[in-house]
Every structure is written in structure tokens, then in C-alpha cells.
Amino acid sequence: MLERFWKTQDYGAHASTVHRLASELAVDAAQRDQAGGTAWEQRHLLRESQLLSLSVPVEYGGPGEPWPLIYRIIRRLAAADGSLAHLFGFQHLQIASVVLYGNEQQKRRLLDRTLTDSAFWGNATNGLDQRLLIHRGETGLFLDGQKSFCSGATDSDMLNLTAVWAHDPTQRVFISLPTTRAGIRILDDWDNIGQRQTDSGTVIFDRVELSTEEILGPPGTAGTPRATLRPLVSQLILTEILIGNALGAVGAAIDYTVNSARPWMSSGLKRSADDPHIQRRYGHLWSGLHAACALSDSVQQRLQGLWEAGVSVSAEQRGELAIDVFQAKAFAARTALDVTAEVFDSLGARSTTRSLGLGRFWRNVRTHSLHDSLDYKYQDIGKWLIDGDLPVPSLYS
């Protein structure tokens, strides 16, 4: 039903792939949401789609697609399947991490593997979880500990992770490893109410060997404003997952309105679709959702500008972009929460049948929007408006 909208979105050379993949994911997204667990087949579809390497820069042999295109694809996929869109988005966050933090040799090696082996990347980089330590053993370095919220680790080929030195936990490093490395154990313990197939569970590291060249950099960009673009790339991924879920909810609700809903008994109408209140509600919800899209679109362009500017990005430019990103994220979250809840108002009680799966969009958004505190995002924006203060970059959000 949203075909009218999707046709306005430009996917460049990847249009047919994107549309096909979205359709394939949509087929059983509701059923897979109920089942939870790993979406092996759908991960395979992603691998086959060639979309996993989109963000590999041209200088490293990749297509070097700009961020706005990648975000647009996340939006499209999230309308069909929030979890798989998440995995797709985080793939590119891991690639971005290598691009930002790796030295030249590391970038060549890791990005090449992404291109030739269609490596699927997972992560164990949760900045709020400091339990993973690097020890210096007799035979070299090793990792010990665990990380929570490791989206995409299951069935991944490569794993990005952050860890702190056991002898100095204030020093954090960024590491890229093959997921098959001995001692890495990925638990199947993600069972949350939304984004249920993101495998965002725990990864255990039991004396996992580590070579120094697996620690990204130096030099890399660590310590530069450019390096701190990573959480902004990430926040806009979250933004598009939120928006995409809301678009998915509207699309599914309109389908239901047209094909299944009954007009309210006292309305005197033959079609629910002709109900003035229902028409008004869709128009109202869509306006807010379209505003969320427009805001995110415009911020993505600014991110792309700074991304292309390379190491010349100043702390002020990064800070102002952060303020923009925070707005796009917060606005998308609030809008998606409202939209995914209110679409039901235009339907009837039968629309809550579990097999229909219309509730998954709200559950996805409710879960996903708690990644970081909107209150503090708003406060950061307010401080900037009032005093011009720029937010301190964090590794988390």
C-alpha cells in the first residue's frame, strides 16, 4: 500500500535488489517475530544480495555508496522486517568502524575480506558494558570477559569488539576478529519484546587469543573528531530503523483498512476506508512520519558531507552534526512510538489477532528507542540552544 511512497525513494542501481529483498523479508516477518531466534535464511538472503559491502570505499575496491543511500535501504528493509534491517545497518556500522579506526594495512585486509568473502559482521562493542578485558599472558594477549547486546554476533564471520586493558581499564581499544576464533561463545539469550531477530544477546570470551594487529590503529583516527563520527553513523541507523518500522505499521494498517476492516456500526458507511476519522488519522500520522523522514534525510546529507571531509572535520562541525543527529533520532523515536500505537485506532479489535503481527512494529520501536535516553538527548540539544555547548562525544551515543 505504501508503493506510492517507496517509488519516491531513490535506491540507485540497487533498486530491484532492495525491493525484492524487502518483499522476501516481508513474507514471514510476522511469524519470525513470534518465533524469535536467528533468521538464518534471511541472513543468507542478505549475504546473497551483495548489499553487505555497499559502504566499502571505492579506494578499497568497494562500491563506496554514500550514507544516505544506505540509510534509505535500512528504512525500506525496516518497514518489512526491523530485525534484518538492524543487521544490515550494523554491518555497515562495522565497516565504518574499520574505515575510521583501522590503519592502512588493517583497512586493506578487513575490507577486502568483506568484499571477497561477503563477510557478515557482528559486534560486541556495547560501550556501557565494561566487562571485557585484555590481559597480557605469557604467550601474548588474550581477551576474557563478556559483552551484552551484541547484535548480529550469531552467524557472523567477523566481529568488532571493544575491550579495556586489564591493567588500565580507562584505556579502551577497538578490535576486529574472526568470529570463529577459539574461546568465543555466542549465547542465544536475546528474548526481548521487540527487534526479536537481531540476536542481540551475550558473547562470552574465554581466554581468546588476540594479536596486536587485530587492535585497530594506530594511527587510525582515534582521538580526532572524525573518529567520533561513529556513534553518529550509528544513531542515524537507529533513526532509520525507527522510521522504517513506523512506515511498516502504516502500510500494514492501510492494507487492513482496505481489505479487512469493517466500518463502525453507527457510521453508515460501507467501507472503513471512507470513514472521515480514519482518513484524518492516517493523514495526521503520515504528516508526522514524513517530517521525521525529511529531518533524517537532511541530517544524513550533512553527515555525508563531514564523512567526505575526512580528517579535516573540526570538533565544532562534529558537535553541530551531533546536535542535528540527536534531533533526528529523538524526533523519529517519538513519532514512531506514536504512529505504531495509533494505527490500531483506525482498525477494530480483530486487528489484534496475534497471527496478523501488527503489534510487532510498536514492540520493535519501543525496544529499539530505549537504546539511549531521549531525555538526555533533548537536554543536550537544549544546552546547545541556550549556551552553544556542544555534546561531549561518547562511544555509545
Residue list 334-363, contact with its own copies (CB under 8 A): 334, 337, 341, 344-345, 347-349, 351-355, 358-359, 362-363
Other residues' Cβ atoms within 10 Å of the Cβ of residue 396: 14
Q: Which three cell numbers stand for residue 247?
A: 512506515
Question: Quick one: which of 267, 269, 304, 309 contacts its own copies (CB under 8 A)?
Answer: 267
Taking the complex as a whole, the smallest distance from the CB of residue 250 to its own copies amounts, in Å, to 8
Alpha-carbon dihedral sign for residues 52, 57, 63, 67: positive
Taking the complex as a whole, the smallest distance from the CB of residue 79 to its own copies amounts, in Å, to 14
For residue 179, give the 3-state DSSP assignment. Answer: coil
Closer residue to its own copies in complex, CB, 13/392:
392
User: Does residue 383 touch its own copies according to CB under 8 A?
Assistant: yes
User: Does residue 384 touch its own copies according to CB under 8 A?
Assistant: yes
> What is the number of alpha carbons within 13 Å of residue 359 lying toward its C-beta?
9
User: Does residue 264 touch its own copies according to CB under 8 A?
Assistant: yes
Taking the complex as a whole, the smallest distance from the CB of residue 221 to its own copies amounts, in Å, to 23
Number of chain positions touching its own copies (CB under 8 A): 83
Q: Write out the E strands in 71-157.
A: 121-124, 133-137, 140-147
Closer residue to its own copies in complex, CB, 156/317:
317
Query: For residue 103, with 0-12 CB atoms within 10 Å meaning exposed, 13-18 middle and 19 or more buried, which class applies?
Result: middle
Which residue, 389, 320, 304, 312, is CA-closest to 64? 304
Taking the complex as a whole, the smallest distance from the CB of residue 288 to its own copies amounts, in Å, to 6
**Cα(203)–Cα(247) distance, integer angstroms:** 32
Alpha-carbon dihedral sign for residues 247, 250, 255, 260: positive
Closer residue to its own copies in complex, CB, 207/354:
354
Closer residue to its own copies in complex, CB, 201/225:
201
- Distances in Å between the Cα of 236 and the Cα atoms of 1, 46, 72, 169, 207 are 26, 20, 11, 29, 35
> How many Å is the Cα radius of gyration of the chain?
21
Tell me which residue has cell 561513529: 230
Question: Quick one: which of 247, 295, 303, 336 contacts its own copies (CB under 8 A)?
Answer: 295
User: Does residue 382 touch its own copies according to CB under 8 A?
Assistant: yes
Other residues' Cβ atoms within 10 Å of the Cβ of residue 112: 15
Closer residue to its own copies in complex, CB, 194/220:
194
For residue 36, give the 3-state DSSP assignment. Answer: coil
Closer residue to its own copies in complex, CB, 107/366:
366
Taking the complex as a whole, the smallest distance from the CB of residue 337 to its own copies amounts, in Å, to 6
Taking the complex as a whole, the smallest distance from the CB of residue 396 to its own copies amounts, in Å, to 7
Which residue, 171, 201, 172, is CA-closest to 186? 201
**Cα(381)–Cα(390) distance, integer angstroms:** 8
User: Does residue 291 touch its own copies according to CB under 8 A?
Assistant: yes
Question: Quick one: which of 157, 260, 290, 309 contacts its own copies (CB under 8 A)?
Answer: 290
Closer residue to its own copies in complex, CB, 109/334:
334
Question: Quick one: which of 116, 180, 298, 312 contacts its own copies (CB under 8 A)?
Answer: 298
Which residue, 116, 89, 111, is CA-closest to 98? 111
Taking the complex as a whole, the smallest distance from the CB of residue 353 to its own copies amounts, in Å, to 6
> What is the number of alpha carbons within 13 Å of residue 174 lying toward its C-beta?
28
User: Does residue 282 touch its own copies according to CB under 8 A?
Assistant: yes
Taking the complex as a whole, the smallest distance from the CB of residue 382 to its own copies amounts, in Å, to 3
Q: Which three cell numbers stand for residue 3?
A: 508503493
Question: Quick one: which of 250, 303, 321, 325 contacts its own copies (CB under 8 A)?
Answer: 250
Question: Quick one: which of 23, 171, 211, 394 contacts its own copies (CB under 8 A)?
Answer: 394
For its own copies, the binding residues in 87-146 under the rule CB under 8 A are 128
Q: Which three cell numbers stand for residue 6?
A: 517507496
Taking the complex as a whole, the smallest distance from the CB of residue 354 to its own copies amounts, in Å, to 5
Contact code string over 180-219 relative to its own copies, x by CB under 8 A: -----------xxxx-------------------------
State the DSSP H helix or E strand holding residue 362, giving kind and residue range, or none if neither.
helix 360-368
User: Does residue 330 touch its own copies according to CB under 8 A?
Assistant: yes
Closer residue to its own copies in complex, CB, 180/287:
287
